[in-house]
Structure 1
Amino acid sequence: MTIKVFGSMLSHQSIRVLLCLAEKDIDFELINVELAVGEHKQPHILARNPFGQVPAFEDDHVKLFESRAISQYIEQTYVGNGKELINKDPKKAAVESVWMHVEVTKFDPVIVALAWELCIKPIIFKIEGNKEIVDKEQKVLESLLDVYETRLTESMYLGGDNFSLADLYHIAVIKFLMDTEMKKVFESRPHVSAWVADLLFRPATIKIFGVTVY
């Protein structure tokens, strides 16, 4: 049975799951959910995700929501497929886990706020973002990326010398922001810039962002 992902290429949470599937070399079917018309609040999506959000995920009888939990399920279930995304060494896995939590608690809030103002509002709602919010969140991002820059002088990836879910969790929303004024904030830090380039030119990233939704 083919894995089904109910989501949208406008949703970084959906793309996070698709990237994980691509890294694991797993076939899937993306069932597009029209966010602009509120399809994610319709009964057929609410039955799969009670919060009326995307993605929703089906793997035979396993039905999940929340992109990070789905990604961990994929990695733990399809251990022999594709790229290893959680280190088998518990000490190295613990470091990866630290940076997964950093992504959730520190990176995601600021980056989602910026993506909302710079990407979602103009693309979906055809309105201009709030410059005051952008300026405020940019300062937070700059301080955060200073920490990332220091970390990435120590290892090629956030969790160590191997690409992992700690890095993958960041990709989708960074890709969105590369088409905005925030690109310069990433590129002004050499180790962060190299890390971003590595993430965006991974075969799995190129594959997923080349997906055409009909």
Structure 2
Amino acid sequence: MTATRPAQPIKVYSSSVSGHSHRVRLFLSLLGLPFETIEVDLRAGAQRTPEFLRRNTFGQVPVIEDGEVTLPDSNAILVYLNERYAPDPARWMPRDPLGAARVQRWLSVAAGQLASGPSVARVIVMFGLHREPAEAIARSHDLLRVMESELAGRPFLAGPQSTLADIANYSYVAHAPEGNVSLDAYPQLRAWLARIEALPGFVPMAPQRIGLAA
């Protein structure tokens, strides 16, 4: 199967500090698709301007513009890119019912436990929020212990090869230490991160300095 290519680079409205944004840039790079990154200054509130809200009424990054298609939500974007541009869409989202369900389970984790655990813990530190981080750190370790246990039996979250499940969960796990969530106790998890980082086309999310905003 020969995948189509975008007629022009896909525009990605994103933030360099956002793991949600990074998962989209990562998948675009893994697919070898041309894209243009437009930085949205979250500190300045650019995501709440009328112009941006026309792209995403929730006022969140990332958003892509692919020709006439404007699409928000990182997980939705991963699914769209896979179905429209991946040479073998089943490579990243299995077509059998159980395989697809296993991937969907981890997409739900990325929007749930990952977002309320490692992501929140990191935001508290990075943006210097006056908020107690203990609960988010505890939720993070609850999640990481489950991931560690499941990765003991397979190399990737949903099976023997990387899928959208891994792309959706990678960024905030890899950068969990920026939220004072140590990965030292999770050797299987660290090995999983290394396997993702070895994928052809992998691009990292740059480490971020803390205290980005008062």
TM-score with structure 2 length normalisation? 0.83
Paired residue total: 199
Task: Tell me the residue number matched to 2:193.
Answer: 196
Separation (CA, whole Å) in 2 of partners of 1:201 and 1:115: 24
Work out whether residues 12 and 64 of structure 2, in 8 Å CA contact, stay in contact via their aligned partners in 1. yes
Asked if residue 209 in structure 1 is aligned to residue 205 in structure 2, the reply is yes
* Cross-structure match for 1:124: none
Listed as ranges, the matches of 1:38-53 within 5 Å are 38-53=45-60
- The higher-RCO structure (CA 8 Å, 6+ apart) is 2
Indicate conservation of the 8 Å contact 2:113/2:139, yes or no.
Answer: no
Pick one of 60, 72, 76 that aligns with 2:83: 76
Mapped partners of 2:83, 2:41: distance in 1: 30
Q: Is the 8 A contact 1:16 1:171 kept in 2?
A: yes
**2:184 maps to which of 187, 192, 207:** 187
Aligned partner of 1:112 among 106, 114, 119: 119
Deviations 1:8-66 (A, max 9, x none): 11122211211111111111010111111111112221121122221121111111111
| 1:149 paired residue number | 148
The residue matched to 2:196 in structure 1 has which SS?
A: helix
Question: Structure 1 stretches of 5 or more lacking a match?
Answer: 122-126
Q: 1:157 to 1:129 in 2, by over 3 A?
A: farther
Q: Which amino acid aligns with 2:184?
A: E
Listed one character per residue, the Cα deviations across residues 86-114 of structure 1 (whole Å, up to 9, x for unaligned) are: 12333222222222222222222112210
RMSD: 2.2
**Percent of paired sites with the same residue:** 28
Which SS does the other structure have where 1:58 is aligned?
A: strand
Change (3 A) 1:128 1:95: closer
1:25 equivalent to 2:32? Answer yes
> Structure 1 residue 168 and structure 2 residue 167: aligned?
yes
**Alignment gaps of 5+ in structure 2:** 1-7, 207-214
**Equivalent residue letter for 1:18:** R
For residue 190 of structure 2, give the secondary structure of its aligned residue in structure 1.
Answer: helix
CA distance in 1, matches of 2:143, 2:173: 14
Give the aligned partner of residue 9 of structure 2. Answer: 2
TM-score (norm 1): 0.83
| 8 Å Cα contact 1:23-1:82 kept in structure 2 | no
Contact in 2 for aligned 1:3/1:28 (Cα 8 Å): yes
Q: Which has the higher helix share?
A: 1
Quick one: which of 106, 127, 152 aligns to 1:99?
106
> 2:59 matched to 1:63?
no
Q: Say whether the 8 Å CA contact 1:16–1:168 is kept in structure 2.
A: yes
Post-superposition offset of 1:149: 1.5
Whether the 8 Å contact between 2:110 and 2:169 is mirrored in structure 1 is yes
Correspondence for 2:42: 35
Alpha-carbon distance in structure 1 between the residues aligned to 2:19 and 2:169: 9
1:196 partner letter: L
